[in-house]
A and B are shown apart, each in its own frame.
Chain A
Amino acid sequence: MAEEKQKIKMAVYWGAACGGCCVSVLDVHEALFDVVAAADLVFWPIALDTKYQDVEDMPDGFIDLTLYNGAVRNSENEHIAKLLRQKSKILVAYGSCSHMGGIPGLANFSTKEEIFDRVYHDTESTINTERVVPQPEFEVAEGVLELPVFYNDVRTLADVVEVDYFMPGCPPQTARLVEVFTAIVTGAELPPPGSVIGAGDKAQCDECSRKKTENKGVKKFYRPWEVVDDGETCFLEQGILCMGPATRTGCDFRCIQGNAPCRGCYGPTPDSTDPGAKMMSAIASVIDEKEPVAIDKVLDDLVDPAGYFYRYSLPSSYIRRKMS
């Protein structure tokens, strides 16, 4: 009679995140019973009433697998990232935000002051005559109240702690999570620490089912709503921006299957260090103009190049924030 199999201990945490990554874990649907059969979920704020104190009370290395989703935006995110690093054997940066900064990372186009001014003073619906802004510490009769410190720079998880694996996606495809989870539970050999897991090594374009011709040449770019997509020709060849050339596979082409161009959430291919720069290269290659004035006219169609090319990856890129 075989011994009862030891369950692994698992934690899921959200930093600066939308909650979609946590939901992608729930998206295993009925396989959640298999997950629960193989793993004890010891900490998962979206679903369980566990407290930070419970994690602090665990011995070091107590948790076998932690999926940290969300970027590191404030001191609370960083504190929990460090705590979970200490308590976990395997720490996975789960999803685009912890991998590359993600959508919250776009805040690196602004400074903390600009964000606070907008949010607490300037929005059309705000009346804040006393100009009250959140303070990290505030003294009241009962003692000192604390709030997390809001950082100027959005950080990736790897900026604050050592990360074992990166699982890209916004959110990661649930099928990839099941593959990775199964590998860990069954004790399969894992790739070297620091690897990207649950994703392919090729660019989206290499495996895309849309029809491509050798004759790429774009004289005008369109926003997706400006053209009627024929449903089968390469988006770029139709003049619609698509992050396919600079993005990894692994998502099963969910956006493209849904007739929407790739937005780049799976991050750069292994040979590329800066996803946006790679995309700039690719876009410049398809423009079919040779004169500076004509090139500029085509580029005028790109309303927000930096925001588009670094939509998910600004904090992990070479120029990771706007210079002030």
Chain B
Amino acid sequence: MAFLCKWCSYTGADLAGTSRMEYKPNVHAIRVMCSGRIEPTFVLKAFRQGADGVLICGCHPGDCHYQEGNYKCLRRFHLLKRYVKQMGIEPERIKLEWISASEGKQYAELVNSFTQTITELGPCHIKETMEVLT
């Protein structure tokens, strides 16, 4: 699952597509207006519904269309990583990267490397664990 900000990262992913770059098809991208819009709830809900990893991309620091949204995202990300670690979930399953509108190539490489990380970690069992009360 990937949450991409509309102004930079989604445009970057679009560039990867229009440039016909090949990358792993494992990522399901969701466009949001700003990385600052991505609430921890979104990430937790994605895991609860069966995602094995969550990728968050926003504009580079200083380049946010809304000035400060990506910093907010960065702080949430750092806090969220601590929380998931406490819950016994590998923090590597969440990744934050800055992708600008011109970085289609970097986006494709990021998707490949993140897919590789998740493949090595194996499937995430949050969904099954949460569905059954023991």
Contact of B41 with A by CB under 8 A: yes
Within 43-75 of B, Cβ neighbours of A (below 8 Å) are at 44-45, 47-48, 61, 71-72, 74-75
Chain B nearest Cβ from A261, distance in angstroms: 18
Mask: chain A, 287-324; 1 = CB below 8 Å from B; 0 = not: 10110100110010010111101000000011111111
Q: Given the complex of chains A and B, what is the CA–CA distance between A321 and B128 in angstroms?
A: 12
Closest chain-B Cβ to A187's Cβ sits at a distance in Å of 37
In the complex, the answer to whether A318 meets B48 with C-beta atoms within 8 Å is: yes
User: Does A318 lie within 8 Å of B76, measured CB to CB?
Assistant: no
Contact A290 B89 (CB under 8 A): no
B18 within 8 Å of A (CB atoms): no
Bound Cα distance from A309 to B48, whole angstroms: 18
Contacts of A307 in B (CB 8 A): 86
Contact A274 B71 (CB under 8 A): no
Taking residues whose C-beta sits less than 8 angstroms from the other chain, chain B's interface range is 20 to 34
Judge whether A155 and B133 touch: CB under 8 Å.
Answer: yes
The CA of A299 and the CA of B84, in the complex, are separated in Å by 14
Contact between A318 and B82, CB atoms less than 8 A apart: no
Contacts of A272 in B (CB 8 A): 41
Q: Check if A284 sits within 8 Å of B44, measured CB to CB.
A: no
Instruction: Tell yes or no: B27 within 8 A of A by CB.
Output: no
Nearest Cβ on chain A to B75's Cβ, whole angstroms: 4
Q: Which residues of A contact B122 (CB under 8 A)?
A: none
Number of A residues with CB within 8 Å of any CB on chain B:
38
Count how many pairs of residues, one from A and one from B, have CB atoms less than 8 Å apart in the complex: 94
A324 CB contacts on chain B under 8 angstroms: 88
Q: List 28 A-B contacts (CB under 8 A).
A: A109-B86, A151-B134, A152-B134, A153-B134, A273-B41, A273-B45, A278-B39, A278-B41, A280-B76, A280-B79, A281-B41, A283-B79, A284-B75, A295-B74, A295-B75, A295-B78, A296-B78, A299-B78, A302-B79, A305-B83, A306-B86, A306-B87, A318-B41, A318-B45, A318-B130, A319-B44, A319-B126, A319-B130
The 9 A-B residue pairs with the shortest CB-CB distance in the complex, in nearest-first order: A323-B88, A284-B75, A306-B86, A284-B76, A277-B40, A277-B41, A318-B44, A152-B134, A280-B40
Contacts A281-B76, A290-B74, A319-B84 given; 17 further ones with Cβ under 8 A? A151-B133, A277-B39, A280-B40, A280-B83, A284-B72, A284-B78, A285-B72, A290-B61, A299-B78, A306-B87, A309-B83, A317-B44, A318-B47, A318-B48, A321-B130, A322-B86, A323-B126
Which residue numbers of B lie inside 8 Å of A, CB to CB?
Answer: 39-41, 44-45, 47-48, 61, 71-72, 74-76, 78-80, 82-84, 86-89, 125-126, 129-130, 133-134
